[in-house]
Structure 1
Amino acid sequence: MVDVILADASLKPCASVSDVTLDWASGADENDFELTIAGHAPTPACGWWWWIDGTEIGGRIDDVRTTVTSGASETTWLGRTWTGLLASKIIRPDSGKDYFTVSGRLPDVVKTIVRRIGLDSVFAVKSDDQSTVTDFVFKDPRYVDAYTGLRNLLSSCGRRLDINVADDRILLGITPVESLENTVDSDVVDFKAETKHRTVNHIIGLGEQDLKNRYVSEWYADRRGNVTRKQTLTGADEICEIYDYSAAEQKTLDDNTQKRLQELQTGGAVDVTLSESIGERLRVDDIVTASDHNTGLSVTAKVTKRIIKISDGIMTTSCEVGQSVVKETISGR
């Protein structure tokens, strides 16, 4: 059985319950939960908290749903996970500034951001990571939810968030991204991969103004997906697309057109299913590489979501991965 700690609005533990049903998700989307508590236990209220000690699993109760069937009532508590709390806050530039820029040791920077968004009474930053960042700029977008912003910041240093609850404190840690390479193959990972050579490799961005005065920005990708101003693929190999950004001045148009073409250079599509043994090991933003020995095709996927479910006292873990680059090493080509 799994023990769930219930805490009041001040984060003070009130009870430990084990007869629960849970559907909890954290990552690129959702970041919420549904919790049903059976048996004799204190009745939570909106604004209460809960967690499972020694894990990242927990959150804040925001709402309640009651279902009555044949006279029997069931109450489900709904709310945000820890990452959901971060996602509900916005990192924004200071008044009169174009961008919000940070520098320093990553733990100090994360602590500053947590305080800036008003969640320092909930989260404590605990990390001995010595990585530093210099003039990291929150841009594209300038206003970004704190969870996405922190993920982007840490990713720039090869790091990810590591959330854990210990001693009744919600701790934000920082840890290197784990990359499972050369240890995972098609015997333990199911995946479907498809190469994509017919992706856009020439993009024309159109910005402000009209007719001959309209701002234009052109970018090209080579066979490896590198984006520059130089065209290397022509004739039948050229695949062109218009990027319409009619409100953009030249600098903004250049930046966003380049970014758009880079986003299109995926190399292919992949659908990866991780076994539970691997899913328990990985966290959001970790990376897994799997290979098919028959074709030589390998795929690299980033974990975008973790899903935890508890039913009948049994906890199961699964992960979802996002769009990934297909590494084509098929023999005979």
Structure 2
Amino acid sequence: MFTKIIDQDKITKVADLIDKADKAVIVTHVSPDGDAIGSSLGLYHYLIDQGLDATIIVPNEFPYFLKWLKGSKDILIYEKYPDFAEKLISETDLIFCLDFNVLSRIKNVGLAVEESKAKKVLIDHHPYPSDFSDVCISHPEISSTSELVFRLICRMGDFEMMSKDSAEAIYMGMMTDTGAFTYNSNDSQIYYIIAQLLNKGIDKDYIYSKVYHSYTADRYRMMGHMLSERMKIYEEYGAGLIWLDNDDQKRFNSQKGDTEGFANLPLNIRGVTFAVFMREDDGMIKISLRSQGDFPCNTFSAQCFNGGGHLNASGGEFYGSLVEAMALFENTLPEYADLLINNKNNLEKK
């Protein structure tokens, strides 16, 4: 058995809200990743099996290597159908907010959610959730929102009713948010949950292959170009920076999701414990930060890039040029010199 981390009062409230609802909408953050899609589809299949009319709404497109999951074709893209999405949100009885902690993380969808009279349930593992939901299930110590969805379903007494489709989506979300269980995954209860999902008939090797063996040749050419021409290592800090500008992405026909995992690449280099990936996007620079050990990349992100997240994995945005974003990163590194050097030394001692 796993530890009952979610308060029983919250379990009871969510179960009651589901029991009273006819319609439900699930929303998740902009540029949805594996955990966002996995947790949403895991909950979606459960709600459908409970007899609810459920819809998943995402702010924008999600990666092609997640579109094999059952139910993914029914996900509504807000950017494509904003009026229809807002109508569903305004008319629903219940809104589940997954894998984000503030409404700004769902961009234009946030206003519709805020104005909706529906009851709202937040399920998330990012720190410092804002106060916009009727029930807030927030546990930053848990490695993924997908794991929290599994725990919620089980605590409501419905594990036996969980379908293979739901289990498959939940496993995928847990897998992708831990780098296939290579970080933030030392909790033994994660593997207890995986065992229960396997008992539902999922094929974990197949899921891994569908996610990580489905990239395009152009994606690998872009990766090679980046590692050869767009990487800088700061040996004195144990830090690495990689980046892609718009021309790079156009040259290699970059698609949504092609840069997934790039932020981790410098961490494969001996002596690098802090990695930052910068990518030109529409009117901004998208920033992804990763670390090993105890270095708080979320603190670094909050200071420089209006971001946040977890100790070892966080994100942010910079409104300016790529050159300016890189300069800000380089100018801030010395402020974290002691933390970086101590973290590097501690890891080398292990």
**Which is bigger in relative contact order (C-alpha 8 A, separation at least 6)?**
1
Please identify which structure carries the higher strand content.
Answer: 1
The TM-score normalised by the length of structure 1 is 0.26
Please identify which structure carries the higher helix content.
Answer: 2
Query: If you compute each CA radius of gyration, which structure gives the higher value, 1 or 2?
Result: 1
The TM-score normalised by the length of structure 2 is 0.25
